[in-house]
Amino acid sequence: MKKKFWLGLALASVMVVTAACGGNNGKPSEGNGEQAGATNAPEAGKTYNIAISQIVEHPSLDATREGFLAALKDAGLEVNVDYNNAQGDPNNFKSIAEKIASGNADLALGIATNTSSALVEEVKDKPVLFAAVTDPLKEKLVPQLKAPGGNVTGASDTNPEAIVQLMDFIAKELPEVKKVGIIINEGEPNAVVMSDIAQEALSKHGIELVKAPIVNSSDVQQAAQSLVGRVDAVYITLDNTVVEGADAILDVVEKNKIPFFSADRDTVEKGAFATVGFKYFDHGYEVGQMAVEILKNGKKPGELDVRTPEKLDFILNLKAAEAQGITVTEAMKAYVKDPENNIIE
């Protein structure tokens, strides 16, 4: 159920002195002015103020934030973190962005499309980064991916090829699947973009995509139940409202032995069968490295290309397969490039 967001309470900053949150999993570390996007070399002993606007809390987005902060820590930056959780409520996106715009942040981070869009609209005089955004061009966060200019840059969490590969896997390895259900909040632009890519890919195999629309996470279980008997598999995108309710989907698909596919690794670790993806901690870490470039190394946001996922791999959960009535073949396992890390047993 969507939580009430009281401006006087939930907009209160959660201040975390010195970015912490785990190590960097062996990843190396990389890197305000008179006009938007301008930067200066850091002062000795300076503590930076970082403002974060996150649409909701769920494993992928939380891991993105943790990776971002870990990159700052690994680079030796001392930071104060103003963390704002919008609780998935559209009324709060603008309020949070306005608060950040009028505050003393040295850099702002938006996690997810809607919160990032609000920051881009409101924050004009300080660097803005985005993460966990599907299509930054369509949402007009930046005018171009290469050296976008201005005070905004970041990283997309979507490579369309990952969706196509997963749909091709379903068609080839589960030939009995003729209809795939998708639970979707069409108020999330990222979900619509990914759904369209999946639909096009499935149609090439003669497979129908059946939509079960929702408005908030409390609708997820009913939407999942509505697909029982109508579809042969279920798929969810990087749809924050739906991912927040993934436990309800798992309950339905396991009881009814329906194969369940997701667009993110965290949901597979939780109990979906398969995805083509990456670790969101790594995604956030990459954006954190961009923040280091801006704060520590004096780069302007507009000089930094928008990044997209490149290290994609199939991720299979064998326990989930058993719970959903899937027989995992050696041919399925052969899709995984790094079985030690990406076959979950």
Distance CA 120, CA 211 (A): 31
Predicted confidence (pLDDT) per residue in 244-264, tens digit: 999 999 999 999 999 999 999
3-state class of 184 per DSSP?
strand
Domains and CATH numbers, the chain: 7-157+280-303 (3.40.50.2300), 160-277+312-344 (3.40.50.2300)
Half-sphere CA count of 265, side-chain side, radius 13 A: 23
Predicted confidence (pLDDT) per residue in 108-167, tens digit: 999 999 999 999 999 999 999 999 998 999 899 999 999 999 999 999 998 899 999 999
Mind spelling out the 3-state secondary structure of 249-318? HHHHHHHHCCCEEECCHHHHHHCCCEEEECCHHHHHHHHHHHHHHHHCCCCCHHHCCCECCCCCEEEEEH
Evaluate if residue 36 carries a pLDDT over 50. Answer: no
pLDDT for position 43: 57
User: For residues 233 and 10, which has the higher predicted lDDT (pLDDT)?
Assistant: 233
User: pLDDT-derived band of residue 17, with 50, 70 and 90 as boundaries?
Assistant: very low
Q: In what order do the strands lie in the sheet with 78-85?
A: 14-17, 78-85, 47-54, 107-111, 128-133, 152-156
User: pLDDT-derived band of residue 279, with 50, 70 and 90 as boundaries?
Assistant: confident
Distance CA 81, CA 63 (A): 16
pLDDT for position 205: 98
Distance CA 41, CA 19 (A): 20
pTM for the complete prediction? Answer: 0.73
Name the DSSP class of 206: T
Phi–psi pair at 79, nearest 5 degrees: -135, 150
Across 229-248, b (16+ Cβ under 10 Å) vs e yields eebbbbbbbbbbbbbbbbeb
pLDDT for position 309: 85
User: For residues 257 and 190, which has the higher predicted lDDT (pLDDT)?
Assistant: 257
